[in-house]
Structure 1
Amino acid sequence: MYFAMNRFRIAIGREAAFEAIWKGRDTSLAEMPGFIAFHLLRGESVPEEGYTPFISKSTWESKDAFIAWTKSENFRAAHRSAGDNKAMYLGPPKFEGYSVVEGA
Structure 2
Amino acid sequence: MYFAMNRFHVAAGQEEAFEAVWKARDSSLSEMPDFIEFHLLRGDSVPDEGYTPFISKSVWKTKDAFVAWTKSDNFRAAHRNAGDNKAMYLGPPKFEGYTVVEGA
Which TM class, normalised by the smaller chain length? over 0.9
Moved over 3 A (4+): none
Give identity over the alignment, percent: 81
Q: Deviations over 1:44-93 (max 9, x none)?
A: 00000000000000000000000000000000000000010111100000
Spell out the pairing of 1:3-82 with structure 2 (5 A cutoff).
3-82=3-82
Gaps of 5+ in 2: none
Alignment length (residue pairs)? 104
Structure 2: how far apart are the matches of 1:88 and 1:66? 26
SS in 2 for 1:17: helix
TM-score, length-normalised on structure 1?
A: 0.99
Residue 83 of structure 2 aligns with an amino acid whose one-letter code is G
Q: CA RMSD in A?
A: 0.4
TM-score, length-normalised on structure 2?
A: 0.99
SS in 1 for 2:45: coil
Structure 2: how far apart are the matches of 1:93 and 1:85? 12
Structure 1: how far apart are the matches of 2:29 and 2:100? 21
Gaps of 5+ in 1: none
Structure 2: how far apart are the matches of 1:99 and 1:85? 30
